[in-house]
Amino acid sequence: MNVQDKYLDWGKEVFAIEEQAVREVASSLDEHFAAAVATILDCRGRVIITGMGKSGHIGRKIAASMASTGTPTYFVHPAEAGHGDLGMIVDGDVLIALSNSGENEEILALIPAIKRKHVQLICITGKAGSSMAKHADIHLCAHVSHEACPLGLAPTSSTTAVLVLGDALTVALLRARQFTPEDFALSHPAGSLGKRLLLTVADVMHGGQEMPLVQEDTLLHQAIVTMSEKGLGMLIVVDCDGQLSGLFTDGDLRRLFQNNQQLKAWTMADVMGQAPKTIRPDRLATEALKTMQTNKVNGLVVIDEDNHPVGALNMHDLLQARIV
């Protein structure tokens, strides 16, 4: 076996060991997990997560995931809590404490003060008989048989299992709260995903002078000039009151030419498509994408509540806005 094959085998071995560790913890989930979810849902304050060392790093990630999905959560370092930051934890909060051994001195030192408050204590440890487990209102066991570290020293399988357990809590809470993509976007306004989800049709449509608008009595050969100038591959047709009558696309034009029709005397009323797909300007751009995909069209007419066109939107606009 060459050295590269050896490295590959070592890597695969870690995946196998950690996969087994996650399965072990999954099989041990019971009513205590459901009780933890219910307790967090009923929390009148905030959820605080604490942990030391590698458990602290995992705790920060769990806190970030919960906070971004509808559960107000933050991380408190247990050593700092013992020197004043415990004041950040108040009546009505839920404290989730992480420790593989369940014997972390910094966390155990906080428990007497926590017990004097109206704070629910959820402990996640690898040992059901540990001190933290005994003091917890709810204990979740994250015991694993083996660490992926061949020395059995570096937290590997154990931290992975707790991370997945934290994700399980997060997702259960997310689903119980019926958290939506729009809710997620409100927590991520600066990210590309948030911008994409919060973008409305009005933000990306072509309105005003950019709108490819013609009247029903506009001659077809004149309307083709407008279609070419606006460059959106479609024409919005309105009646004498300015209300939407129909839509004419470059695909419609190609079909007319293919059929060798006499085009010169025709007006838009003769060739437009009836009942075009429409959308309101205040709808999310993602909804516009779904409408286009569902109806297999490349353009939408943006209308107001009186059926007056206020803009035009095509698939290219959504591509530029990175909606697609």
Q: Give the CA diameter of the chain.
A: 91
Q: Which of 169, 42, 162 is nearest to 101 (CA)?
A: 162
Cβ distance 19 to 156 under 8 Å? Answer: no
HEC string of 140-162 equals EECCCCCCCCCCCCCCCHHHHHH
HEC string of 269-307 equals HHHCEECCCEECCCCEHHHHHHHHHHHCCCEEEEECCCC
Cβ distance 182 to 284 under 8 Å? Answer: yes
What sections of the chain are H helices per DSSP? 3-28, 31-41, 54-68, 78-81, 105-116, 131-135, 157-176, 181-187, 192-198, 201-204, 220-230, 250-258, 268-271, 285-295, 315-320
- For the sheet with 234-238, list strands across it: 213-215, 234-238, 244-249, 273-274
Cβ distance 170 to 47 under 8 Å? Answer: no
77 is annotated as contributing to ligand binding = yes
Binding residues for Zn(2+): 77
Binding residues: 77
